[in-house]
Amino acid sequence: MRPCTLFLILTLTASTADVAGAEPHPYRNSWKRSAFGAPVYAAVGVRAGFRQLLNSPEEYGGGVSGFAKRLGSGFATHTVRVTVTHLVASKLHEQVHYQRSDDPRFKIRLRHALLSTVVTRNVDTGRNRIAAGNLAGHGASSAMATALFYGSGASTAGIALATHTGFNVVKEFWPPRNKRQVSVPQPTGKRPTNTFVE
């Protein structure tokens, strides 16, 4: 199946998923923002252009045809990753979006950003847990890329997780905080809101 065709199927399925009179799931709006929209299309386009420059994978070739294949596979794998992530996270009540640390110390903030790829927070209890949704999403998209498009599942998943971690670090430190910004006061014995519990 061609990448563009698969992405079209996924998009049509997603756009018709609402049932008349059905109450939207709490995670649905988050999923829509993560899966579709101008920022997402721009990011996927940039990644496709970068892969075009590297001629990766070689099987796609060059020119307009090669770029179209990379763009289609990029949209398809992105949609699968986001969908699986939200499906699993919704069942486990996991936080799916990155939250910056309230701790002002550089090392703590860096540690928080690095761990956020594999550790998340339960939205009901506030306790930390393994980010099953995020890991499942990356695993599913990597498996699809391997089965339908190119590459090794393990290496594809590893690159995707490393990229995700890099973006988390950027989100943690950019844009810079206002120097007057301070951590939200916490009751005695509790840690800052977004800092991982040891």
In a domain, 180, yes or no: no
Phi-psi region of 21 (alpha: psi -120 to 50; beta: other; left: phi over 0): left
What is the domain range of residue 160?
Answer: 3-12+26-173
* 83, burial (CB in 10 Å: exposed 0-12, middle 13-18, buried 19+): buried
Please give the pLDDT value at position 114: 96
pLDDT at 87 over 90: yes
Residue 186 half-sphere exposure toward CB, CA atoms < 13 A: 12
Q: 165 with 159: CB under 8 angstroms?
A: no
Tens of pLDDT, residue by residue over 122-134, are: 999 999 999 999 9
Could you tell me if residue 127 is inside a domain? Answer: yes
| Selected residue with higher pLDDT from 128 and 153 | 128
Q: Is residue 75 part of a domain?
A: yes
For residues 170 and 109, what is the distance between their CA atoms, to the nearest angstrom? 11
Q: Pull the structure tokens for residue 156.
A: 């594809």
Domain count, the chain: 1
Mean pLDDT on 180-194: 47
pLDDT score, position 160:
80
Asked if residue 36 belongs to a domain, the reply is yes
Report if residue 50 sits inside a domain. yes
- Read off the DSSP letter of residue 58: G
Residue 144 lies in a domain: yes
The set of residues, in sequence order, having a beta carbon less than 8 Å from that of 41 and lying 6+ positions away, is 75
Residue 195 included in any domain: no
Quick one: pLDDT band at residue 147, thresholds 50, 70, 90? confident
Residue 192 in any domain: the answer is no
Chain mean pLDDT for the chain: 80
